[in-house]
Amino acid sequence: MGGVDVRAIATLVIAVIFINAVVFPNAQQMLHYAFLVIGAFMALIYRRSVPASVLILILASCSVTLLYLIIGAFRGATTESAMQTIIIYIISPMLWILVIDLAWQLLGTEKVIRGLASLALAGSASVAVYIYLFLNFGPQSVAFFGSNANVHLEDGYSGIAMHVLGSLIFLCAAFAAEPNATQTRFFGLSVLFSLGLATIASGRTMAVVGIAIGFLFLAVIAFRQIQWHLLRWVFVIIPAGLLVALSLNFILGVDVAQALGRHLDKMQGGDIERPAQIFALMKGMEDTWFLGAGHGIGVEYIRSDTFPWRYEAVFVALIYKVGFIGSLIVLFPIIFALGVFLNALTFGTARRYDGFFGAALVASFAAGFTNPYPEAFAFQWMYILPTYYFLSVRPINRLSRGVSAAKDEPFRRNLVD
C-alpha cells in the first residue's frame, strides 16, 4: 500500500472520529471508541518520539489519579467507579492527545479550523433535522441521536434534548471570536449564523454564553488591532441577529427575547440542582481539608442513583476528589493554555487563531463547572484541542508562519517510507 493511500486512510479515520465527536456525540459510542483507538494506534506508528514535557505532564496527572484511586478504594469506592475513573482520566485523554496530534500532523491549523467549520454547519443542520423528525414522526425517529429524546415548544420558547448541544458551546465561542478564521468571510458568517439559529432553538444556556464569550474576545482583540473597524462589525452583527430572531419566529414560533430571558433567569440562579451539588461538594472539601476524598467517593447530595460518585459540576467535584493541589496538577495543561491566551490578550500580543482556540477553551472550561462534559470521552476534544494548540502549535508558529514545514515533512516522509 503506497504512502498516499496510508495518508488517506489516516485522514479518513480522523474525519470519522471528529464527525462522531462533534456532530453525533454519544450516538454511537462503541464505534466512536473503536475509531479513537485506531486513530491513536496510527499516531503511535508515525510519531517517532513524544516530547519530554508532554510525558512529564501525562505521568504527573496519571500519578495523581492512581493515588486517589487507592485512597478511594480504602474509603469504600466501588470497582465500577475505579474502572470509570481510569477510562475517563487516563485512557481517554491519552487517546485524544494522540489523535489530535495526528490530526495536526496531517492537516495543519488552517485545515483543522476549516474542518471544524464544516462540522459546525453539519451540527447546526442536525438540530434542524432532529426537531423536524421529532415533531413529525415522534421520538423513535431520532433514536440514532441518543436516548431521552425530547423537543419542547411552548409559549414562544424552544428547547431540545440533544448531545450535539455540548459541541455548540465550543463552536459558538470559537467562531464568534474569529468569524474570519475560515477561508472566506461569507463562509465564516454563514457558520456563525447557523450556530446562532441552532443555539437559540436548542435552549442551551451555555451555548448562548459561548456566543457571548466569543463576541467579548472578538471585541477585545479587534479593538486592539483594528479599532476603527469595530463600527462596521456593529452593522453586520445587529442585522444578522435580527435575521436569526425572525427566522426562528417564522420557522418555530420562537420568541427570541423570551428565550433569552429564560437563559438570564437560569444564569441568575433559576437552576437549583447545580448550586445544591456545588454547595455539598464545597462542604466535602472543607471536611477533607482540601486534601481530597478519593475517586469514587461522593457527598451527601446524590446527583445520580446509578453513579452516586459523579456530579455535573465536574471541576468542583475534581477538587473534592483529588484535593486542591491534585486538581492543579491534573488541570495544569488547561490552566497553562488559558494563561498563555489571557496573557497574549492582556499585552496585545495575540496572533491569528489565538481568539478562536482561546475563546473556545474559556467557554468549555466554564461549562465544566456546570456540565459533565470533561468526564465524557466524546467531549474531551473540546479541552484537549485548544490546549494542544497553545502548548504545541502556537510556539512553533512563533518561529515560522502557519504550520512549520519542519513539523509536517517528517510525518509525510513516514507515510511514504
Contact status, residue 385 vs residue 92, Cβ threshold 8 Å: no
Which residue from 174, 31, 8, 17 is spatially nearest to 99, judged by alpha carbons? Answer: 17
Beta carbons of 330 and 302 less than 8 angstroms apart: no
Q: Is 1's pLDDT higher than 50?
A: no
Q: What residue type is assigned to position 262 of the chain? A: R
Q: What is the pTM of this model?
A: 0.84
Mean pLDDT of the chain: 81
Number of domains the chain contains: 1
Give 301's pLDDT tier (boundaries 50, 70, 90).
Answer: confident
Q: What is the 3-state secondary structure (H, E, C) of 132-181?
A: HHHHHHCHHHHHHHCCCCEEEEECCEEEEECCHHHHHHHHHHHHHHCCCC
pLDDT exceeds 60 at position 258: no
Which domain, by its residues, includes 178?
Answer: 3-416
Q: Which of 122-136, 143-157, 315-329, 352-366 has the lowest mean pLDDT?
A: 143-157
Q: Which one-letter DSSP state was computed for residue 379?
A: T
More confident call, 2 vs 340 = 340
412 or 397, which is more confident? 397
Predicted confidence band of residue 241 (pLDDT cuts 50, 70, 90): low
